[in-house]
Structure 1
């Protein structure tokens, strides 16, 4: 099988020596081309070229969720065509690796490589659904480039935290769970609209859900991990359905404490609940709009401020080796 291995040399959980060993292991079973990313967006460009080549059967992403997201967007740059596009495989190399773990892969890069080689020999794969975020027609964001996401997107408070973390990483800080917690607290105390949000969720045939301060869009569960602990914002979310939404209409101190406690004790059967919680399951199309520009992120990648984003759940969008 002809394959492209896209390696992020800045992946936080792998060393140069580990990446070399993994590359040799994959090359023993694959006709392997190796490409190392050199700039933001490079993984997208490499995957797009692989998709257009017509000869690459598999693209392996060795890196974190950001690398995987770039590869997915490169593969689907011309749109989903599962039977025609190269398959995707993932070797987790980031600090959290939500997508890989949601697929059931080990969080250790060496173990995951062994699992990938077994899956290739057994020819096991699945076709998964993805989320697509686009600019809303008729708004100032209409021309914004569309972006696929594998496990989640965020609009509002959650995305603001991601933006703060990216700023800290640009200053040389290491991506850790403690860094996310610190930036979440700073976002909370700096949020001027904690108790009365400006976000409205609109979908065809339903009354709008208004005054949200936080909105998380899930394509699978769990939403994220704190160390080894999975966190379920939308427990019913799945690669086999459309999108789920978890929203909060208040981030007052009591509401935040209650929600944080529920997230920390969440499970596949039970997520956050209460009068300020909005939970929607298996929604194919909807739009999030705000009176003021709000932070926006997909798969942990901050994309700036938007007044409006339209979301679509695309079923059976991409084949993945598992």
Structure 2
């Protein structure tokens, strides 16, 4: 039905992904061929991330690269929903066709993460992300969820919350963080337990409830950082409650909260290897990651 709806308005070529990374390869071919004007990604945030990385293989060039359209097909679809698209395949397809007829698009900023020169992760290839990255606690949760999904468990919000609890119980550094944030011209921020890098708001959804750790984050600015320097039982209770009650106007606050807005360049270091995730995809352990916020990186149909 989706293909039929799109084919009625577009000259359409359909390609189904066959392996992890295939969406990236297909998008790279589309960008390099010079004949494709629009790439439509049907899938969840992981598929969209692959497509974006394929389109931007040779760097951002919004006017020359194909435009991106997203039809949500995953369990959470944060990027699509942050763009204002309906969280339903049929409704989102209708909205996409309307946007194409109206010529409605915007140029969004993206985040880029790479291994830090001089660190053990220096050779790690740079990778783009659309809405968030995480270093530390939240990335550990993502890794646990992925393990459960590989065992056949469905990706549900209850599964996610169980893994949050298990990650917390097993977190050895929750009172004395190992992460340091460094940025040009500023004093380092030390002893962070977890750090979330946001390219837009909300950061995620719990069902239909949006969560805003960094309410000011936007596709029109660089990157925002939400970090915590303590995960004691009292601190977790306080900040989890604030997260659940967060709004576009107000996020978590307190003496253990670090909130930074519109950062273009910064690095996160850890004394010990920590989990790292981008757009909900667990990427293993890292000791240092350098982030760049790139404004106006890609044209998107909205």
Please classify the TM superposition score into its range, dividing by the shorter chain length.
over 0.9
Structure 1 residue 23, shift from structure 2 partner: 1.0
Matching residue of 1:207: 187
CA distance in 2, matches of 1:181, 1:100: 23
SS of the residue aligned with 1:271? coil
**Map of 1:18-167 to 2, 5 A cutoff?**
21-167=1-147
CA distance in 2, matches of 1:77, 1:301: 19
| TM-score of the two chains, using structure 1 as the length reference | 0.93
| TM-score of the two chains, using structure 2 as the length reference | 0.99
Superposed CA deviations along residues 75-96 of structure 1, whole A, max 9, x for unmatched, are 0011001000000000001110
Superposed CA deviations along residues 213-265 of structure 1, whole A, max 9, x for unmatched, are 00000000000000000000100000000000000000100000101000000
Matching residue of 2:261: 281
CA distance in 1, matches of 2:159, 2:28: 33
Structure 1 residue 140, shift from structure 2 partner: 1.3
CA distance in 2, matches of 1:269, 1:107: 23
Gaps of 5+ in 1: 1-20
CA distance in 2, matches of 1:205, 1:317: 25
Q: CA RMSD in A?
A: 0.5
Matching residue of 2:243: 263
Of residues 212, 223, 235, the one that matches 2:203 is 223
Structure 1 runs of 4+ aligned residues shifted over 3 Å read none
CA distance in 1, matches of 2:146, 2:18: 18
Matching residue of 1:174: 154
Structure 1 residue 174, shift from structure 2 partner: 0.8
Matching residue of 2:300: 320
Matching residue of 1:9: none
Superposed CA deviations along residues 45-92 of structure 1, whole A, max 9, x for unmatched, are 010000011000000000000000000000001100100000000000
Matching residue of 1:308: 288
What is the total number of aligned residue pairs between the two structures?
302
CA distance in 2, matches of 1:242, 1:193: 29
Gaps of 5+ in 2: none
Structure 1 residue 138, shift from structure 2 partner: 1.1
CA distance in 2, matches of 1:184, 1:299: 17
